[in-house]
Amino acid sequence: MRQLFVLDPLRQINPAKDSSAALMQAAQRSGDEIWACTPSDLIARGDEPLAMALPVTPDPWIGVGAPERQALAGFDVIWMRKDPPVDEAYLYATHLLEVAERAGVRVLNRPSALRSWNEKLGALRFSRWMAPTLVAGRVSELIAFAQEQGEVVLKPLGGRAGLGVIRVHADAPGLKALLELVTEQERLPVMAQRFLPDVVEGDKRILLVDGEPLGAINRRPSPGEFRSNLAVGGQAEATDLSDRDRQICAALAPALRAEGLFFVGIDVISGMLSEINVTSPTGVREVERLMQQPLADQTMERLRALV
């Protein structure tokens, strides 16, 4: 197969930790031809989708050839693995990739789903599996919810890697001022969720491939911290899936498959679904290292069965 990875500049990628690097190297082991580009390299000439792409040899990291103009219809698979933020440039890239999809190329994850599945709001359709959650911009609604729950976590809807996530008690001095700040004076909605004390025991990152949970790690917060994201100091450790975890995965699987969300990472705290990550889910390297599981190779095997 010929695979194109649309992602951040290669010089920014740490291959020892990066899931995109793991997937690219697994594709090479499968004997595939691998190319890479950034979103700004995508082109549509009329209805013909193109890219100024680099031929790459990802293992050992990384051999790079000269850029060439490539017809996207000549690829079997295109991976959209650009990290958030999901800004205007990201959204326009999904529209350009949709031109390739119409030409018959399998784009992972599906461009329309990347636009419609906000990584916080997308989980709301499975709210029965979540801790009590409110999304609102009105400060009075958020205060009432905090008073009802006692202690809450506030999440910006466009946030990533734990950035901007705040834990606050309903009786905290200045709560109203804080909510005015995070909502930009009631201009933007935020997500508020009941704080789950068991987060000190960790937050599971479960990686689903074509709706099936293939691997998981537990991310334990560092001392004095409630956020477990690896980007803010969380420590990855081996874990097993509980019956509850598997039930959550089974509940999500039909919608993920139907909407073309082939590679997804969900976050589960104390048996409660927290987020559904669809842009560039991480955790492959940690699963491979801690669980002694070739997750990237298994992902490529699943992909070959679909293409």
**Mean pLDDT of successive 10-residue segments in the chain (307 residues)?**
97 95 98 98 94 97 97 98 93 96 96 92 94 96 96 87 81 93 95 91 94 94 68 80 97 97 96 94 95 96 92
pLDDT the model gives residue 165? 87
Residue 176 among the catalytic residues: no
Residue 297 among the catalytic residues: no
Residue 277 among the catalytic residues: yes
Q: Which of 81, 155, 160, 204 is catalytic?
A: 155
Residue 102 among the catalytic residues: no
Alpha-helical runs (H) found in the chain: 19-29, 88-102, 111-116, 139-149, 175-182, 243-258, 284-290, 295-306
pLDDT the model gives residue 225? 65
pLDDT the model gives residue 186? 95
Residue 155 among the catalytic residues: yes
Residue 227 among the catalytic residues: yes
Side-chain-facing half-sphere of 42: CA atoms under 13 Å: 27
Side-chain-facing half-sphere of 121: CA atoms under 13 Å: 13
Q: Which of 81, 106, 110, 120 is catalytic?
A: 120
Q: What is the pTM of this model?
A: 0.93
pLDDT the model gives residue 230? 65
Q: Which of 32, 277, 285, 288 is catalytic?
A: 277
Q: Which of 98, 245, 267, 288 is catalytic?
A: 267
CB atoms within 10 A of CB 54: 22
pLDDT the model gives residue 304? 94
Q: Specify whether the CB–CB gap between 58 and 24 falls below 8 A.
A: yes
For residues 1 and 303, what is the distance between their CA atoms, to the nearest angstrom?
Answer: 11
Q: Which long-range contacts (CB under 8 A, 24 or more apart) does 84-91 make?
A: 84/119, 84/158, 84/160, 84/279, 84/280, 85/158, 85/160, 86/114, 86/118, 86/158, 86/279, 89/39, 89/40, 90/39, 91/115
Structure tokens that stand for 122 in this block? 């997308």
Q: Specify whether the CB–CB gap between 227 and 234 falls below 8 A.
A: yes
- Tell me, what DSSP letter sits at residue 276? E
pLDDT the model gives residue 277? 94
Residue 120 among the catalytic residues: yes
pLDDT the model gives residue 232? 61
For residues 59 and 21, what is the distance between their CA atoms, to the nearest angstrom?
Answer: 9
pLDDT the model gives residue 181? 93
pLDDT the model gives residue 90? 95
For residues 125 and 105, what is the distance between their CA atoms, to the nearest angstrom?
Answer: 29
Helix, strand or coil, per DSSP, at residue 280: coil
Which residues, listed in sequence order, are joined to residue 53 by a DSSP beta bridge? 68
Q: Which of 98, 275, 286, 288 is catalytic?
A: 275
Residue 205 among the catalytic residues: yes
pLDDT the model gives residue 153? 93
pLDDT the model gives residue 158? 81
